[in-house]
Amino acid sequence: MRELLSARRVALLGGVYSNHLALEAALADARARGAEAIFCLGDLGGFGPHPDRVFPLLRDAGVTSVQGNYDLSVAQGAVDCACGYTDPRDTHFARLSYEYTVRNTSTENRRWLRALPPTLKVALGDTRLLLCHGSPRRINEFLWETTTPNGLLERFCRETESDLLCFTHTGIKWHRALPSGRHALNVGALGRPENDGAPRVWYTLLTADHELSVEFVPVSYDHETLAREMTREGLPDEFVETIRSGWWTCCLESMPVKERSRGRY
């Protein structure tokens, strides 16, 4: 059964990665733009500082979240974040990020993460939405724009009885209308910029009028303060550089060649 949302406009937030300042800015922006419901597609921790700071922001704003792979790993005390890196450099940085996040996430918040659902089905007007973190079949599947074929997306839509698939995990937004008229939407990420040389981050607004519209919304926030917090917390300089420059410096292994060629590293 799908919950029929009474809202006409909803905000979809992707990976927060402990970026509490961007989350705060995005929540205020979404409300100002008339979002009546807000969903987060998981990965609340990782990469950024003070992971516990995002939880009260989400709860106070009434955000409904699904579980990301990071959330599941932190909740379970798993050995790693389950991003699946094999490149030694990426593995090194992923370990630093994960160990910091686990060390600084409270027991109460881990319990909250454990209870999150892996997927949500809702309806916005006549449109049936499937909300998940990676893909409908796998919490840590990367659905990049240039490695996700229409045939697979159509199959996901059929199997989940959905008109619009919404996901995050890769950290870079995209939207595609499928040949059947269904849609696939990577909502982007709030936690770090999307490897385009600008420090702003992104979330997505859906508006149901006579037809559904998708709008990617840029969020500028006090990234310098976040960068200083990361340095004070002893997080790697490579992470801080990304927050300041907008270029990804690590965890590039899974990025396909087309997306990779648009970055600096």
Partner 1 sequence: MLGLSVRAPRDIAASSSAPRVEFRELEQVWFQITGTLCNLACRHCFNSSGPHEPWLAGLDVETVRRHIREAETLGAREFYFTGGEPFLHPEILALLADALAVAPTTVLTNGTLIDDPTADRLTQLAAAALYSLEIRVSLDAPTAAENDAIRGRGSFAKALAAVRRLVARDLYPIVTATEIAAPPGSPSLYERLHAMLRAAGVARPRIKILPVLPTGRCESRGDGRRLTAGDLEGFDPARLQCTRTRVVAAGGVYACPILAGLPGARLAGEGLAAALGPTALAHPACSTCYETGIACGNS
Tell me 2's DSSP state: P
Tokens of 17: 């990665």
Whichever of 31 and 137 has its CB closer to partner 1, that residue is 137
Q: Which of 146, 213, 220, 225 forms a contact with partner 1 (CB under 8 A)?
A: 146
Question: Under rule CB under 8 A, how many of the chain's residues touch partner 1?
Answer: 26
Residue in 52, 80, 154, 238 binding partner 1, rule: CB under 8 A: 154
Residue 234's Cβ-count burial label (10 Å; 0-12, 13-18, 19+) is exposed
Q: Choose the binding region for partner 1 from 41-49, 53-61, 62-70, 153-161 (rule: CB under 8 A).
A: 153-161
Q: Could you give the CA distance from residue 199 to residue 33 in angstroms, rounded to a whole number?
A: 22
Q: Which residues pair with 143 in a beta bridge?
A: none
Only one residue has tokens 């508006």, namely 207
Decide: is 265 part of the binding site for partner 1 (CB under 8 A): yes
Residue 33 lies near partner 1 (rule: CB under 8 A):
no
Nearer to partner 1, 6 or 261 (CB): 261
Span of 20-28, 100-108, 148-156, 187-195 interacting with partner 1 by CB under 8 A: 148-156
State the Cα–Cα distance between residues 87 and 80, nearest whole angstrom: 14
Q: Which range of residues in 73-81, 144-152, 198-206, 237-245 is near partner 1 by CB under 8 A?
A: 144-152
Residue list 243-262, contact with partner 1 (CB under 8 A): 252-254, 256-261
Amino acid identity of residue 254, one-letter, is S
Count of beta carbons in the 10 Å neighbourhood of residue 1: 5
Residues that bind partner 1 (CB under 8 A): 84, 86-88, 137, 142, 144, 146-149, 151-152, 154-156, 252-254, 256-261, 265
